[in-house]
Amino acid sequence: MGNKPSHQKLQEERTVFLSKDNAVYRIPSLFYDRDNKSFMAFAEQRSTADDASTKHLVMKTGTLKKEESTGVRTIEWSELKVVKEAHLDGHRPMNPCPVYEKTSKTLFLFFICVQGVVAECWQRFWGCNRARLCYITTKDGGQTWSGVTDLTHLPDINEWATFAVGPGHGIQTESGRLIIPTYAYASCSASYCCISCYCAVPYGLALYSDDKGSNWLFGEMLETKSVECEMAEVSEDAGKNYIYCNARSEGGYRVEAIDTGAGFITLPSAGKLVETGGGCQGSVVSFPAQSEGDSSPNKWLLYTHPSDQSNRINLGVYLNKSPQDPNAWSKPWIINSGPSGYSDLAYIGDGWFACLMECGVQKYTEQIAYEVFHYSQVKKNTEE
């Protein structure tokens, strides 16, 4: 009982988006600009917790602060701003998913625009897509944005019952490829729209660009049924880079897959990364191996997701030093006890990470909060 007030205070200090009457914030997305040493946090603003009530995408910018006496890092956030450019008439914007193109210093904010209040389950049932694939760009940290670019003309979309991006974040590989994680419901009746479609099955896949965002294409779908996903670039001892994908599932455990250049291959589950209830989004980032003494070209993985197999509670941080081995995942370090939902990770550098997370005292929709932590904390709290 005596610890409860301080816990409440800690929650308030970590708040980025606080839900209230007629304004519920969900679906966190986080980007860290290493050039300007600043954060951009995105979310959906809804009238209620329901997906169909989304009104706007909103954002805040943040500056990392260091407490000199303790070394603790905190983030100082700006006032909330509605990203009014992320809009199509008659549609609601959803699933913010930014990716940064380093050469042109351009941030692409991808999202989907869904017609009216049409639900995803309706689109899946009828095989009738009502979502549009969109992005806007900024070169000044979100102070100004371009108009909307609509990519729904891409041919693959015509074959799907519906689709979505992310949510979370995209990546730029060392080769310069931009990747937006995506999932699509492959309709069993691609030739006809609005006839009953009972067998639309979701699969994760990548939307990518090899020309700094001028043109975009879809890659091949994962072999295994999978939904919301995030991707990271990792490397092996031989120095070859590949793409790792971690996806939501309905099978009790997460779907993991790797793409070494010939399409995604699903890794066998080791039962270490549990899925929660009917599924929940999770986040993954790669970061330079934190080897003691020896420098290493390898990259490790950090992953966040509710650690309970039944309910969205107890957000865990998991570490994997051998990304191709599902058995190498650590036990979770719980960074938020109690109600926990969607999350998004960013690697800051020098072993530091930031995480946005849905959380609350009674419900995970009460707020989107942040946590900043160091690899040394991860190591200490995930060791057996």
pLDDT band at 9 (very low <50, low <70, confident <90, very high): very low
> Six-digit token pair at 135?
């992005």
Q: Report the pLDDT averaged over residues 317-345.
A: 96
> Considering the entire predicted model, what is its pTM?
0.94
Looking at the annotation, which residues are catalytic? Answer: 51, 342, 358
Is the pLDDT at 7 greater than 60? The verdict is no
Query: What is the distance between the alpha carbons of residues 344 and 339, in angstroms, rounded to a whole number?
Result: 16
pLDDT for 188: 64
pLDDT for 2: 37
Mind listing the pLDDT tens digit for each residue in 15-54?
999 999 899 999 999 999 998 899 999 999 999 999 999 9
pLDDT band at 6 (very low <50, low <70, confident <90, very high): very low
Q: Report the pLDDT averaged over residues 212-234.
A: 97
Place of tokens 């699969």: 203
Q: Report the pLDDT averaged over residues 75-82.
A: 97
Sequence spans of domains, the chain = 7-383
Share of the chain above pLDDT 90, in %: 80
Q: Report the pLDDT averaged over residues 352-372.
A: 97
Bridge partners of residue 300, in order along the sequence: 287
Q: Report the pLDDT averaged over residues 363-373.
A: 97
Is the pLDDT at 118 greater than 90? The verdict is no
Q: Report the pLDDT averaged over residues 222-251.
A: 92
Task: Please identify, in words, the CATH class of the domain defined by 7-383.
Answer: mainly beta
Mind listing the pLDDT tens digit for each residue in 287-319?
999 975 556 678 999 999 999 999 999 999 999
In this structure, the number of other CB atoms found within 10 A of the CB of residue 382 comes to 17
